[in-house]
Structure 1
Amino acid sequence: MVSQPETPLTAQSTLSLRPARDHRDRIATSSTLSRSKRYNRSHVGGTTSNTSYNQQNEFPIFSHSGDVDINIHTPSGGEARYLLHRHTLTRCSGFFEASTSEQWSKAKLLAGGNEVARLAPDGSLPTPAASTVDGDLDGDLPRKRWRYELDPGTGDGDIPMLIQKDESRAAPSKSIFGPGDGSRGRHKSSHSTSSSRDFFRSVSNLHHQQQAHHVSKADQDLLRDYDNLFRTMYNYPPVLDGVNVADAYVQCKSLLNLADQYDALAVVGPRVDHHLLQFQSRLWKQIAKYPISYLRLGYLARSKIIFQEALVHVVGQWPSGERSLRAALPDIVLDIIEDKVDELEENVSRVEGRLFRLNLTNSRGERVGPNTNYLDWLAVSLFRQWIADNTSPQPAPPSSTDRRSRDMPRQPLPPAVPPLTSLGRAYRTLGAPNPAAYLGHDECKRFLKLTPDMYSRENLRRFEKRMDELKAMARDIVRPLMGSSLELDLGGSGRVVEGISYLTCTAVANRDLPWPS
C-alpha cells in the first residue's frame, strides 16, 4: 500500500498496526469523497489533495473496474481519456461488441488473470506487476484490458475513427509531470508535500488552459461528441445547448452521426429526441424552415414526432428538394415519401375533378348555360378559368426553332400532375374563410366590362352574388385538403401558418415509419 505523506510519522506508525480495510470499503470511500467533483477536473495527476493517488471509480475514469482504455488525441492538441467497461460499451455499441470479440480482440491478459487495471499517479495504466503489488485481488474483476486510440486518417476526406491497439506493444502514456513513481512521495515531509501539490495544481491548470486555447473549433466539437457519446452510454445526460434550437440541432446532428459511426443509434437517439422536443414551438418552426435536414435527423434518432413533422413538410412541397433528399436519405425513406406523395396527388385529383364539375342552377333546378342564363354562365366560366390558371404551371417559352417555323407552333401538353407546391397555394386560397381572397369586386368588375352590353350595377351585384355561391361550394369541396397534421398548426384548425402555403394534410401512421414501431 502507498503511504499517506500528510500523516505525521508518529501517526503512521500507529496506523500501520491497524488491520487494512476491506478492498470494497476503500472503493466506496474514495467514490463518495470524489462524487461532488465528478466533472471538469484533471485526470492526469498532480491535482489530488495528497501525493498518494486517490483511486477513482466513476465516469469517465473507472480506475478500479474499467477494462477499456480509450485515448483521444486530436491534431490540434486536444486530449480526452476514458477508462470504461467492456460490458457497458458492448451493450450500447455494435462497434465495441465486434471489436472486443474473440475474432477481433487485441486485449491484453493481465498476469494472474485477476489483477485490477488501476491508474498510476501519472494517469497511465500500470503494468500487471504493479497491480499485483497493490495486493487487491478479486476474481470478479476484469481479466483483460482493451486499448483504443483515435486515428485521424491520412486524407482530407477520412473520418477520425477509434482503432484498437495491441496492448502488449503499447508504450505507457507519459504525464507532463514526469514518470509516475509513487515511491517518491513516501519519504517527503508534510511541507514538501503541500508545496508539490500546489505546484502540480498550478501547472495542470496552465496546461489545460493552453490546450483549450490552441485546440481548433472542429477538434473541440469532436471531443464534445465523444464525451456525449460515452455519457449517454452511461445514462448521463449529454451536454447539449438548451437555449438556442439551431445550435442544439447542429450538436445533435453531429452526435447522431458519431453514434451511427459506432452503431449506437439505439442508445443515443432517444436522448436526442428528448432534448429537442423540449423546444416545442421553436422546434416546429425550425422544422418548417429546414424539413429535409430534420427529416434525416428524425430518421437517425428514430423520433416519431420529428420525423412525422418533417415528412408532412417534405410531401407538401414535393418535388422541391428531391435531389437533396435522394442524396441524404436511404431508399426506405424515399419510398415512404413517394407513397405519401401519390396518396396526396390522388386526393387532389378527386377534389380537382369536383371543382371543374361545379356548376350553378337556375330557379327551375337546371344547370346554367350560355343559352339559359348567360350572366350566370359567365360567372362559372370565370371561376373555372381561375382554377385552371392557378393549378397549372406557366407554359415554357417557345424555342427558337418554333419561332422560325412557318406553321403554328405546337402547344405543349400540360403535365399529368402539376407540382404539389403550386396546387397547395391554389387550394389554400379556395379554402380560405375570406371569400374576397380571390376573384374580388375589382376583378369581377373588370371582367364584366369586357362585354359592355352586360355591364351594369344590377348585373355586377348579381354576378358577385353568384360568384360567392361558387366560392362557398368550392370551400366545402376542398375542406378535406385543408386539414393539418402539423404540430405547428395550433389546434389543427387548418389555418394557413405564416410562410406555409402548401398542403399539410398528409397523415403519417405508425406503419408508415421506416423503423419497427
Structure 2
Amino acid sequence: MVSYPDSQVGSNVSAERASSLTIRRPPSVASHSSRTSTIRRHRPHRSGGSSYGGSSVGSQNEFPVFTHTGDVEIVISNGRREKRYLLHKLILTQCSGFFDAGTSEEWSGAGEGSVAQNMSAAALARNPAGSRQDRKKWRYELDWGSDDDVPMLVQKRAQPAFSTVFGDGTHPPPARNKPIAPSSNFLRSTTNFSTAQLSTAQLSTSTPTPAPLDPDDNTFRDYDNLFRIFYNHAPSLDTLNIANAYVECKALLQLADMYSAIDVIGPRVDHHLLRFQGRLWKQIAKYPPSYLKLGYMARSKAIFAEAMVHVVGQWPAALPQLRNQVPDAVLDLIEDKFEDMDELKVKVEVKLFRLSLTTSRGERVSPSSNWLDWMAVSLFRQWLAENTTPPPAPILKSPRNGSATPRPDLSANFNTGRVFRLLGAGGPSYLNHDECKRFLRLQHDQYNRENLKRFERRIEEVKNKAKDAVKPLMRNFLELDLREGGLPYLTCTRVDPQDFPWDAV
C-alpha cells in the first residue's frame, strides 16, 4: 500500500488527481530513476543535435576547434589535406606578436561591423544564442607562395559567424525543382574511377603498397605544435631519436620566430631536449655550432652554454658555420671568451718554459753542475716548443716553371688543447720510457742502465711540476662526462649568467 503526504492528497482530492500522482520508490531506486531521466532529458542538448542544424562534431568547444567561444579561424590547406582551427584572440595575442598586430583595430581588415547587424530579424529569432554571435571574428589562411617562398598565414575576410545547414541565416537557400543532370565527362570519370579502384583493390590483396608521404606534412606538424603549445598542450615531437627531435625543434623555432612567439615556444623546446640528458650532451659535442644556434633561438641557457664551451675550445674552426648565421653579439661573445682563454694559455706556457730542476744544494741544474739533469729539462722544453708552435708552411715547387708557391697558412686552425691535456694527464702519455731511452742513446758515453733510471726519475719530476702548472686549463665546465673519452681541445670556458646575449637585447 502506497501512502501520500497530507499536503498533496487531501480528503477532497478527486480520484483523477490522485491517480496522476507518481508512486514513490525506495530511495535508491528513486535516485537512480531521477538520474536516468535527467540524463535522457538533457543528453540531446549536450550533444548539440538540435533543430539548429548542428552536429556533435561541429559543436565541440575544445582544442583545436572552440565552436562556442573561438573567434579566430585558421585554415591550413594544400589541396590534398586541410586542418582547421578555431581559437581565441586573447590566447593568440598573448603568445604571438604576429596575431597581436594582425587583430588590432588599426591593422585588422576583417570583421567590419558586427555580424548581428548583417543578420535579419528572422535569423536572430531562429538563433537563441544570437546575443553571443555579435563578436568580431578573424580568419587566416596559409599562403604557400612560390617554390622559394616560406608559407605564411594571411588574413582573409571573416565569414558570417552564424552559419547553419540552411546557409548564413540572411537569405534562403536557392530553390531547385530537380537535380542537375550529370555531364558525360562526370560519368566517364566515375567509370574510370571505379575501374581504377577495382584494380587498386586487386593489387592491394597481392602486394600492399605504403601510402606516399605528403611533402607538406612537416608544415602541418609544425603549425599544429605551435598552436598546441599556445594552449599548454604537449607538442608532438620525437622522444626517442634525438636527431629527429633536433630537426623538429629547429623547424618549430623557426616558425615561432616568424610569428614572434619565441618567448612561449623556446622554453617548451628547451624542456623537450633536456629530457634526453646524456644523449643531448654527446650530440652537442658532435655538432656544437648547430646546437649553439638552436640554443640561442630557444633562449636555452643550458644548451647555449654547453655548445659555447665546445665552440670556443675549437675556435676558429666553427667560424664558417656561424658567420652570417648568428647575431654579432654571439660572435663577439665567442671572440671575448677565446681571447680570455688565449691569455690564460700564454701565462701557463710561460710557467712551463720556466720549469727547472735543482741540485742537492738548491741550485738550478746547468751543464756544468749536473749534465744529466740539465738534459732532462732540455728534453722537456724541446718537446713543449715543438708541440705548442704551429708547423711552418711547406713550400711546393711547380713542375713547370720551378717557382716556389707557398701553401695556405695552417696556423690559424692550430689548436694546442691536445698538448695541454697531455701535460695535465702526465705519466706515460708523453716522453715515455722508449723516448727517454732513444734520447740517451744519442750520447753513447752517457747511456747505461743507472743513468736511464735516473733520467726517467728526473723527467717524472718535471712532468709533475707541469701538471700543477696547467691546472687552470684543465677545468671542465661541460655537462658532458669526460671520463668516457677526452676531447682534443680545452673546455675551461665559463659562461656566466650575465654573458647570455639575449638578456642584453
TM-score range, shorter chain: 0.7 to 0.9
| Structure 1 residue aligned with 2:393 | 396
Relative to 1, partners in 2 of residues 1:474 and 1:326: Cα closer, same or farther, differing over 3 Å?
A: same
TM-fit CA distance, 1:102: 2.1
| Structure 2 residue aligned with 1:137 | 130
TM-fit CA distance, 1:499: 5.5
For 2:154, the aligned partner's letter is I
5 Å matches for 1:475-514?
Answer: 475-489=467-481, 495=482, 497-498=484-485, 500-514=487-501
TM-fit CA distance, 1:131: 6.9
5 Å matches for 1:94-493?
Answer: 94-109=97-112, 111=114, 113=116, 133-138=126-131, 143-154=135-146, 156-167=147-158, 213=211, 216=214, 218-400=215-397, 419=413, 422-432=415-425, 434-489=426-481
Q: In 1, Cα distance between the equivalents of 2:483 and 2:120?
A: 69
Relative to 1, partners in 2 of residues 1:114 and 1:93: Cα closer, same or farther, differing over 3 Å?
A: farther
Relative to 1, partners in 2 of residues 1:356 and 1:320: Cα closer, same or farther, differing over 3 Å?
A: same
Relative to 1, partners in 2 of residues 1:150 and 1:457: Cα closer, same or farther, differing over 3 Å?
A: same
SS for the counterpart of 2:137 is strand
TM-fit CA distance, 1:392: 2.2
For 1:458, the aligned partner's letter is E
TM-fit CA distance, 1:86: 1.0
CA deviation vs aligned residue, 1:28-58 (integer Å, no higher than 9, x gap): 974xx79xxxxxxxxxx9xxxx957651111
SS for the counterpart of 2:155 is strand
| Structure 1 residue aligned with 2:95 | 92
Q: In 2, Cα distance between the equivalents of 1:128 and 1:161?
A: 39
After TM superposition, the score normalised by the length of structure 2 is 0.75
Q: Is the CA contact (8 Å cut-off) linking 2:93 and 2:99 kept in structure 1? A: yes
Q: In 2, Cα distance between the equivalents of 1:272 and 1:337?
A: 24
CA deviation vs aligned residue, 1:138-168 (integer Å, no higher than 9, x gap): 46x76211111111112x3211111111337
TM-fit CA distance, 1:304: 0.7
For 1:239, the aligned partner's letter is S
Stretch of structure 1 that moved more, 319-328 or 468-477? 319-328
TM-fit CA distance, 1:112: 5.2
Which has the larger Rg? 2
Relative to 1, partners in 2 of residues 1:515 and 1:143: Cα closer, same or farther, differing over 3 Å?
A: same
TM-fit CA distance, 1:27: 12
| Structure 2 residue aligned with 1:57 | 61
Q: Is the CA contact (8 Å cut-off) linking 1:65 and 1:85 kept in structure 2? A: yes
TM-fit CA distance, 1:326: 1.2
For 2:254, the aligned partner's letter is N
SS for the counterpart of 2:219 is helix
Q: Is the CA contact (8 Å cut-off) linking 1:114 and 1:138 kept in structure 2? A: no
SS for the counterpart of 2:324 is helix
- Asked whether 1:70 is paired with 2:61, we answer no
TM-fit CA distance, 1:393: 2.5
Q: Is the CA contact (8 Å cut-off) linking 1:312 and 1:486 kept in structure 2? A: yes
Q: In 2, Cα distance between the equivalents of 1:27 and 1:336?
A: 64
Q: Is the CA contact (8 Å cut-off) linking 2:357 and 2:377 kept in structure 1? A: yes
CA deviation vs aligned residue, 1:338-381 (integer Å, no higher than 9, x gap): 11111111111110111011111111111112222221111111
For 2:347, the aligned partner's letter is R
Q: In 2, Cα distance between the equivalents of 1:296 and 1:413?
A: 29
SS for the counterpart of 1:72 is strand
| Structure 2 residue aligned with 1:15 | none
CA deviation vs aligned residue, 1:439-488 (integer Å, no higher than 9, x gap): 00000000111111211111111111100000000000001111101111
Q: Is the CA contact (8 Å cut-off) linking 1:114 and 1:137 kept in structure 2? A: no
CA deviation vs aligned residue, 1:63-93 (integer Å, no higher than 9, x gap): 1111111111126x23211011111111111
For 1:516, the aligned partner's letter is D
SS for the counterpart of 1:367 is coil
For 1:507, the aligned partner's letter is R
| Structure 1 residue aligned with 2:82 | 79
Q: Is the CA contact (8 Å cut-off) linking 2:393 and 2:410 kept in structure 1? A: no
Q: In 2, Cα distance between the equivalents of 1:341 and 1:244?
A: 33
SS for the counterpart of 1:300 is helix
SS for the counterpart of 2:434 is helix
Q: In 2, Cα distance between the equivalents of 1:442 and 1:468?
A: 14
For 2:260, the aligned partner's letter is D
CA deviation vs aligned residue, 1:427-449 (integer Å, no higher than 9, x gap): 111001x5111000000000111
Q: In 2, Cα distance between the equivalents of 1:413 and 1:384?
A: 25
Paired residue total? 421
Relative to 1, partners in 2 of residues 1:400 and 1:110: Cα closer, same or farther, differing over 3 Å?
A: same
For 1:58, the aligned partner's letter is E
After TM superposition, the score normalised by the length of structure 1 is 0.73
For 1:464, the aligned partner's letter is E
Unmatched tracts of structure 2, length 5 or more: 1-41, 174-196, 198-209
For 2:422, the aligned partner's letter is T
SS for the counterpart of 2:394 is coil
Relative to 1, partners in 2 of residues 1:437 and 1:103: Cα closer, same or farther, differing over 3 Å?
A: same
For 1:144, the aligned partner's letter is K
CA deviation vs aligned residue, 1:116-153 (integer Å, no higher than 9, x gap): xxxxxxxxxx99986773220346x7621111111111
